[in-house]
Amino acid sequence: MTAAIVDTGPLVAFFDRAERYHDWVAERFEELDAPLLVCEPVLAEAMYLLARYPRAQDTLLELIQNGALSVVFRLDEHVGELRKLIQKYRDTPMSLADACIVRMSEIHERHAVLTLDSDFLVYRRHGRAPLPLIHPAAR
> Are the C-beta atoms of residues 114 and 28 closer than 8 Å to each other?
yes
Spatial distance between the Cα atoms of 49 and 51, rounded to a whole number of angstroms? 6
- At 138 the pLDDT is 74
- At 139 the pLDDT is 56
Count: domains in the chain: 1
pLDDT grade for 104, boundaries at 50, 70 and 90: very high
- At 137 the pLDDT is 86
Percent of the chain with pLDDT over 90: 94
CATH assignment at residue 31 = 3.40.50.1010
Cis peptide before 93 (omega within 30 of 0): yes
Q: Which residues contact 124 (CB under 8 A, 6 or more apart)?
A: 102, 130, 131
Q: DSSP letters along 89-100, please?
A: TTTSPPPHHHHH
> Are the C-beta atoms of residues 120 and 134 closer than 8 Å to each other?
no
Spatial distance between the Cα atoms of 87 and 67, rounded to a whole number of angstroms? 33
Give the domain range for residue 8: 4-138
- At 127 the pLDDT is 86
